[in-house]
């Protein structure tokens, strides 16, 4: 029995520490995934919390095949899709980025932090400019560490289409970011 299977069993029995352990184990990956798919940090946090609440509510009827990380990453991506659908119905334009995820300095000084923050802002902006399907393929692959087979199943397309979306998206990112670097 894997650690995740044991945690789910404990959660089914009402063990609150099991939920805390699951959250702590996957929070970083899932928060990064949500932030990559959404416009702002606050919405990403809301999506992550919704997924965890949903896990608790549905744990008794869940039959997770595969690993828990992939299940939770798919749930986060689905919630992000739902958010985009609701937002597109309400408004026709894109909402500008309010916040950029916090980058820790480590041993770097303030100048390195500013440069890193600017690069992160450029990357987030370039990522948001991609078509939704390409952005989704990139974020699911890089942040959720999903295999192309899983991405294809999630997007309801062939593996070749998932690979193409990923490759075209990366090409567009490179092109856009190289153009920004030349300014």
Q: What confidence tens digit (pLDDT) does each residue in 111-123 have?
A: 676 777 677 777 7
CATH of 109-183, one of 2.40.37.20, 3.40.50.720, 3.40.50.1370, 1.10.10.10: 1.10.10.10
How much of the chain, in percent, has pLDDT values that exceed 90? 18
Other C-beta atoms closer than 10 Å to the C-beta of 46 total: 15
Angle between helices 132-142 and 68-90 (to 10 degrees): 160
pLDDT tops 70 at residue 170: yes
Average pLDDT, rounded, for the chain: 80
Residues of the chain with CATH 1.10.1740.10: 1-95
Q: Which CATH class is domain 1-95?
A: mainly alpha
Tell me what pLDDT residue 182 has.
47
Per-residue confidence band for 145, with pLDDT thresholds at 50, 70 and 90 = confident
> 65 is written with which tokens?
């095949």
Q: What confidence tens digit (pLDDT) does each residue in 126-142 have?
A: 888 888 889 889 988 88
Residues of the chain with CATH 1.10.10.10: 109-183
Q: Per the confidence metrics, is the pTM higher than 0.85? A: no
User: Which has more confidence, 68 or 120?
Assistant: 68
DSSP string, 20-64: HHHHHHHHHHHHHHHHHHSS-HHHHHHHHHHHHHHHHHHTTT---
Tell me what pLDDT residue 161 has.
94
Q: What confidence tens digit (pLDDT) does each residue in 13-41 have?
A: 988 899 999 999 999 889 888 888 886 78
């Amino acid at each position: 029995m894997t650690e995740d299977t044991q945690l789910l069993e404990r959660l089914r029995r009402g063990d609150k520490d099991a939920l805390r352990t699951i959250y702590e184990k996957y929070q970083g990956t899932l928060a990064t995934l949500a932030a990559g798919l959404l416009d702002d940090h606050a919405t990403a946090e809301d999506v992550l919390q919704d997924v965890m609440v949903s896990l608790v509510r549905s744990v008794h009827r869940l039959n997770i095949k595969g690993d828990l990380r992939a299940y939770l990453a798919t749930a986060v991506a689905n919630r992000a899709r739902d958010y985009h659908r609701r937002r597109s119905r309400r408004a026709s334009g894109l909402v500008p980025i309010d916040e950029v995820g916090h980058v820790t300095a480590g041993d770097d000084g303030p100048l390195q932090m500013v440069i890193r923050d600017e690069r992160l802002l450029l990357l987030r902006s370039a990522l948001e400019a991609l078509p939704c399907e390409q952005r989704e393929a990139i974020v699911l692959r890089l942040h959720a560490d999903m295999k192309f087979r899983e991405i294809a199943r999630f997007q309801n397309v062939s593996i070749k289409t998932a690979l193409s979306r990923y490759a075209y998206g990366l090409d567009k990112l490179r092109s856009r970011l190289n153009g920004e670097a030349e300014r």
